[in-house]
Amino acid sequence: MRGCAMLVVASKSSQRGLVLFVALIALVVMSLASVALIRSVDTSSQITGNLAFKQSTAITSSYGLEAMADTIGGQLKSYAFTNDPSNGYYAVCTTFDSGATGQCNGENLTLSTTWSDANSKLATGAGIANGKDPYGNTIRYVVERMCNQNGDVSKERCMMAASPDPDSSKRGCGFCIFKPPVAEPLPIYRVTVRIVGPRNTVSYVQAFVS
C-alpha cells in the first residue's frame, strides 16, 4: 500500500510539471502573437503616414512654385547672368548637375548631397510662415538656368524653349501683307522644390519653365 501511495504522489507531481510547461509555451506563443500584431499595426500606420505625406507634398509643392514666381518669376528672362545663392538662383546648372557636359540633362543630378540652407531660398507667400506651410512642411527651392556657362543667353550654351514657326501663321491667314512677328526663344529654367516634413521626411518636386 505504501508503494502505491508513493506512486500516486509522484504521478500528480509529474502532471503539475507538465501543465506548467504547457502553460509557459502558451504564454510564449501569445507574447509572440502580440508582438507581431503590434508590428503589423505600426507598419500600417507608417504606410498610411507616408501616403498622407505624399498627398500633402503634391499640395505643398505648389507653394514653392508660386513663391518662385512671386520672387523672380517676372525677371527670369533678364535675371542675373551669374549665380545668386542667397536668392536660390543659379545661372549655370552644374552646381547640382555635377559632371554635366554641354547642356544639362539631369543625368548627374545630386540634390540630396549638395542641397543646403545656404544655397536655397525659403518659400514665402500666402499661407507660409517662416518657410512652413499649414501642414508643418518646410519649403525651399532653387532656380537653375539651363546653361553650362555664365553670361548672356545663347543657343550654344543654354537649353532654349522652341519658338513658334512663323510659316504656320502665314498658312493660317492665307496671304498676309504683314509678316507676323517671331517670338524670341527663351531660356529654360529648372525649378526644384525641396519639402521637409514634420517627421524629417524629404521630397523633391521639379518643374521646367521659360
Phi, psi for residue 94 in degrees, rounded to 5:
-75, -10
pLDDT at residue 127 is higher than 50: yes
Residue 8's pLDDT band, with cuts at 50, 70 and 90, is: very low
Predicted confidence at residue 14, as pLDDT, reads: 61
Residue 150's pLDDT band, with cuts at 50, 70 and 90, is: confident
pLDDT at residue 47 is higher than 60: no
Number of structural domains (the chain) is 1
Predicted confidence at residue 2, as pLDDT, reads: 47
- Which is more confident, 84 or 16? 84
| Exposure string for 173-186, b = 16+ CB within 10 A, e = fewer | eeeeeeeeeeeeeb
- Which is more confident, 113 or 197? 197
Residue 7's pLDDT band, with cuts at 50, 70 and 90, is: very low
Q: How many CB atoms lie within 10 A of CB 41?
A: 10
pLDDT at residue 206 is higher than 70: yes
**Worst-scoring range by mean pLDDT, 91-100, 134-143, 179-188?**
179-188
Using a 10 angstrom Cβ sphere, with 0-12 exposed, 13-18 middle and 19 or more buried, the burial of residue 119 is: middle
pTM higher than the cut 0.85: no
pLDDT tens for 162-180 read: 765 555 555 555 555 555 5
Question: Could you tell me the residue range of the domain that residue 129 belongs to?
Answer: 2-209
pLDDT at residue 136 is higher than 80: yes
Query: What's the Rg (C-alpha) of the chain?
Result: 33
What residues contact 150, with CB distance under 8 A and at least 6 apart?
81, 82, 83, 91, 92
Predicted confidence at residue 182, as pLDDT, reads: 55
Of 30-34, 94-98, 174-178, highest mean pLDDT: 30-34
Q: What is the mean pLDDT of residues 39-49?
A: 59
The DSSP secondary-structure symbol of 75 reads G
Residue 52, amino acid: A
Predicted confidence at residue 192, as pLDDT, reads: 86
**Worst-scoring range by mean pLDDT, 16-25, 82-91, 188-197?**
16-25
| Residues 94, 129: Cα–Cα separation, whole Å | 31
Average pLDDT, the chain: 71
CA-to-CA separations, 108 to 8, 88, 126, 149, in angstroms, rounded: 82, 19, 34, 17
Q: Which three cell numbers stand for residue 98?
A: 555635377
